[in-house]
Amino acid sequence: MPTSAQGPKSSEPLTPVRWGVLGASSFALKVSLPSMRRGPLTQLAALASRDIGKARAAAQSLGIPKAYGSYDELLDDPEIEAIYNPLPNHLHVKWTARAARAGKHVLCEKPIALSAKDAAALVDVQHETGKRIAEAFMIRYHPQWHQARDWVRSGQIGGLVSVQAAFSYFNRDAVNIRNRREVGGGALYDIGCYAVNMSRFLFGREPLRAMALVERDPEFGTDRLTSGLLDYGGAHLTFTCSTQAVAYQRVNALGTRGRIEIEIPFNAPADQPCKLFLDDGSTLNCSSAQVTSTDVVDQYHLQSEAFSRAIRTGGPVENPIAVAAGNMRVIDALFRSAESGRWEKI
């Protein structure tokens, strides 16, 4: 993905986009914001928290010049052009909508909503305001995923018939938002959404129906183990995600003549290359696999730069709200299936 600040048809540099940040979450402070601030097109200009002391400390730690003690104060700042929304899941729709109606473009962390109905409401907000709203699936900006999709599209593995994904970690901290059902915690919302999103990315179409099994934590009520199956019409996604299993992630894409394996598909390291394996299946011990290494990139950096560039140039954004709403329709169907015990249409 391009990271230069040069315009697409001009040698003149593009003006950086002034960003505001909602909240001071640990994830944002430690992971996404340090990556975003390195971009020539991404200027972190303000940060808001409901605790002004927390806002000032967070802003100072990242060199952000303005700190606000409420989210509304940030949205009222006329200098802010784009909002990054890493708030807890149940606050995504409310504050994304308010930001867009305040005249800001919005990059919101996944999941964009907790239901397809609420995601559809944000589609309406985008039409109403004309502002860009996108879901922050940073994996869509990493070159390993573009390489994998190029191989699929070019027929390197024949016809794509099955995508298999696993994503898990172990966390039983009762106060962690990932373990709080009332704020949108649980495995499917937190990490299973990646399997849904990347399968749609690779297949290039929408699934027809979904089936799922869910195991809920008896104390938290969140889904601690979810396994799902999506029917793409003659092709499948199968996945397992868990918040209470050994840390692991892997994706395999099986074709009629070969397979693609992505070693670290989701939490791609920012300080080392990622590896993809293209295997024709001629040996069962995988010795026939050819290894491709990507450049060293930071997918969060690429994501914010691409969004800023789209704002400045009017170009398309990756994973726009319409695509995000499609992910929520699938997640809704998976949860319905877990309750009904049968296939659910999407």
Look-up of token digits 């315009």: 7
Residue 157's pLDDT is what? 98
CB atoms within 10 A of CB 263: 15
Catalytic residue among 104, 110, 131, 345: 110
Name the percent of the chain lying above pLDDT 70. 97
Q: Is 110 a catalytic residue?
A: yes
Encoded tokens for 130: 């004309």
> Which pLDDT value is given to residue 4?
42
Closest to 20 measured CA to CA, from 304, 301, 325: 304
* pLDDT recorded at residue 13: 87
Residue 2's pLDDT is 40
Tens digit of pLDDT for each residue in 156-181?
999 999 999 999 999 999 999 999 99
> For 58-115, how does the pLDDT look when each residue is reduced to its tens digit (9 = 90+)?
999 999 999 999 999 999 999 999 999 999 999 999 999 999 999 999 999 999 999 9
User: How far, CA to CA in Å, does 59 sit from each of 21, 24, 309?
Assistant: 10, 9, 24
Q: Read out DSSP for 203-262?
A: H-S--SEEEEEEEE-TTT-SEEEEEEEEE-SS-EEEEEEESEEEEEEEEEEEESS-EEEE
- Render 30-52 in DSSP notation, one character per residue: IIIHHHHTT-TTEEEEEEE-SSH
pTM over 0.85: yes
With tokens 């909503």, the residue in question is 113
